[in-house]
Chains A and B, each alone.
Chain A
Amino acid sequence: MAFDKMELRDIEVWDGNFAAAQALRQCQIDVVAAYPITPSTPIVEGYAKFLADGYVEGEFVMVESEHAAMSGCIGAAAAGGRVATATSSQGFALMVETLYQASGMRLPIVLNVVNRALAAPLNVNGDHSDMYLGRDSGWIQLDAYCPQDAYDLNFIAFKVSEDHDVRLPCMVHQDGFMTSHTAQGVHTLADDVAYSFIGDFKPMNDMLDFEHPVTHGVQTEEDWHFEHKARQHNDLMTKVMPKIQAAFDEFEKLSGRKYNIVESYNMDDADVCVVCMGTSVETAREVAQEMREKGIKAGVVGLRVIRPFPFFEIAEALKGVKAVAALDRSSPNGAPGMLFNEIAGCLYNTQERALLSGYVYGLGGRDLTKAHLVSLYKELQANVDAGKVLTPLQQFIGVRGPKLAFL
């Protein structure tokens, strides 16, 4: 190999973007096709610098749009090699057409999505609008809460996505600025250890195998389309979770860091709980601990895997809970929030159906404060005491003006 290894300290101070860039370097990506967009840009800048400094070997293709970035990634992945890129927000939105094509062609591509709001009005800060936009695209979606997660989940992403029983692209999400630009201590893996965790890329149906030519991206009309879409859904529903769990288990042995499909905190005896994603999980954990000192048995459930949706894992995590709040950081624009709906689905057929209410928060990077969560937990406790939901089913947190609540 004609590139140098990098000596890392056991703990480095990295923000989420640099952690992801380091993970891409250690995974020895063959092709990165990318287009810059705030706040994800430093990931591909980091990769470009590693390449310029001879710490990785491959092709970095700086294209003219995010649509072209994913188009190039698709061509490169179909050719047969390890492929990754990063984007956010409007760039993610521009990519959407090709996201469906990447997953429909069953190409393992890793996309780091640094979550950011969607215009209009234009906003560069973190919310989950772009992440939600990708949820029906047929990709696996993993969610990081901090730079450490952003680093670790990239390895999980390659391992699962490239598995020949899976062959589905994977997004690794982190919150714009809150994670991507916030430096924290990150426990590292040595280059060799990291690479051997994911292993060499194993080509499948690769266009560059000239002895076995393949046709990718065919047209299927009403007589074939349904079967192919059904196959993809089946594989997302049945094959991905066991592979993710196996990858988490193996990663724990390697690093000592344990990840779970659903991250439960203080849930063993919780009466009330918050279900959320991203950096909010860490805030909620802190508040839940404090609520216990105030006599409220509070817990937190964070989604580590967003797609495939952990239907049974969430139902299991919420067993015995009396009131649940679903926190959506994306404007549902005329409906209950995605998490509210999905969790309602998980709970509906359970014996002890918990009281469920929804909250919309943090749009465009608005902070979710501890005070917000304290009053939220109090509302949940009041619901428990009354045996019914006392508030409207959908409430907005932290928005100025008259109280906004629906349903």
Chain B
Amino acid sequence: MANTGWNEFEIGAMLRTFEGKIDDIAGTLQEDRAYTQNSSFSASVADWRIEKPVFNKDFCIDCQFCWIYCPDISIISRDKKMIGVDMDHCKGCGICVEVCPTNPKSLLMFSEQADEEAELAQWPAKDKEKK
């Protein structure tokens, strides 16, 4: 759109979220929606991150704390299970790690360049000091 001329827009700078008709938005998961290029869902803020969360499903209890407190709709939960982090929309704030109640945590922050496989392989053990 960057080269779009004045005569090529919808009038009133109006934006549409979806291509065509959508019947029941609240009943349609993101992967089943036809987003337009104008939905920020189609954009990425991955380059904002300095640190990234890595998810270790071995310790996750699917409590969904990370889901509800994620400001960036980046915790992907389906059928009541946490299945991963949306790395296009995660800004790396680290809230998910802070609210994770497991021991050891199921989410930890690492530098953006860290190798996920390597970090998972050397995941911290249970902290015996903590209850």
Asked if B81 is at the interface of the complex by the 8 Å CB criterion, the answer is: no
Contacts of A218 in B (CB 8 A): 13-15
Choose from A205, A224, A235 the contact partner of B14 (Cβ within 8 Å): A205
Choose from B6, B9, B13 the contact partner of A104 (Cβ within 8 Å): B13
Nearest CB on B from A77, distance (A) = 11
Are the CB atoms of B5 and A106 closer together than 8 Å? no
Nearest CB on B from A330, distance (A) = 30
Choose from A212, A215, A223, A231 the contact partner of B11 (Cβ within 8 Å): A231
Closest Cβ neighbor of A106 among chain B residues = B12
A220-235 vs B: 1/0 string, CB under 8 Å?
Answer: 1001101110111011
Known: A106-B12, A211-B22. A231 touches B7 (CB 8 A): yes
Chain B positions 1-26 with a Cβ under 8 Å from a chain A Cβ: 2, 4-7, 9-18, 21-23, 25
Choose from A216, A223, A227 the contact partner of B5 (Cβ within 8 Å): A227
Contacts of B2 in A (CB 8 A): 223
Choose from B10, B13, B16, B23 the contact partner of A224 (Cβ within 8 Å): B13
Bound-state Cα–Cα, A215 to B7, Å? 19
Bound-state Cα–Cα, A215 to B17, Å? 8
Choose from B6, B18, B21 the contact partner of A230 (Cβ within 8 Å): B6
Contacts of A256 in B (CB 8 A): none
Chain A positions 87-110 with a Cβ under 8 Å from a chain B Cβ: 104-107
Nearest CB on B from A65, distance (A) = 24
Contacts of A231 in B (CB 8 A): 6-7, 9, 11
Known: A104-B12, A107-B12, A167-B12. A213 touches B6 (CB 8 A): no
Asked if A214 is at the interface of the complex by the 8 Å CB criterion, the answer is: yes
Contacts of B18 in A (CB 8 A): 212-213
Choose from A107, A205, A213, A232 the contact partner of B25 (Cβ within 8 Å): A213
Bound-state Cα–Cα, A211 to B28, Å? 12
Closest Cβ neighbor of A166 among chain B residues = B11
Nearest CB on B from A37, distance (A) = 28
Are the CB atoms of A167 and B4 closer together than 8 Å? no
Closest Cβ neighbor of B23 among chain A residues = A211
Contacts of A232 in B (CB 8 A): 11
Are the CB atoms of A228 and B14 closer together than 8 Å? no
Contacts of B15 in A (CB 8 A): 214-215, 218
Contacts of A213 in B (CB 8 A): 16-18, 22, 25
Contacts of A234 in B (CB 8 A): 6-7
Are the CB atoms of A228 and B7 closer together than 8 Å? no
Contacts of A167 in B (CB 8 A): 11-12
Among B11, B14, B15, B23, the one with the most A-chain Cβ atoms within 10 Å of its Cβ is: B11
A225-249 vs B: 1/0 string, CB under 8 Å?
Answer: 0111011101100000000000000
Known: A211-B21, A227-B4. A216 touches B12 (CB 8 A): yes
Closest Cβ neighbor of B39 among chain A residues = A215
Contacts of A235 in B (CB 8 A): 11
Nearest CB on A from B41, distance (A) = 13
Contacts of A228 in B (CB 8 A): 6, 9, 13
Chain A positions 360-377 with a Cβ under 8 Å from a chain B Cβ: none
Closest Cβ neighbor of A220 among chain B residues = B13
Nearest CB on A from B38, distance (A) = 8
Contacts of A215 in B (CB 8 A): 14-17, 38
Chain B positions 79-130 with a Cβ under 8 Å from a chain A Cβ: none
Closest Cβ neighbor of B11 among chain A residues = A106
Bound-state Cα–Cα, A216 to B38, Å? 13
Nearest CB on B from A238, distance (A) = 11
Bound-state Cα–Cα, A105 to B13, Å? 7
Among B12, B18, B22, B23, the one with the most A-chain Cβ atoms within 10 Å of its Cβ is: B12
Q: Pick 23 A–B contacts, CB within 8 A, sort by A.
A: A104-B13, A105-B13, A106-B14, A205-B10, A205-B12, A211-B22, A211-B23, A212-B16, A213-B17, A213-B18, A214-B14, A214-B16, A215-B14, A215-B16, A216-B12, A216-B14, A218-B13, A224-B13, A226-B6, A227-B4, A231-B6, A231-B7, A234-B6
A212-B16, A214-B15, A230-B6 given; name 16 further pairs at CB < 8 Å: A107-B12, A167-B11, A210-B25, A212-B18, A213-B16, A213-B25, A214-B16, A215-B16, A215-B17, A216-B12, A216-B14, A224-B13, A228-B6, A228-B9, A231-B9, A234-B6
Instruction: Give the 4 A-B CB pairs with smallest separation, nearest first.
Output: A106-B12, A227-B6, A230-B6, A215-B15
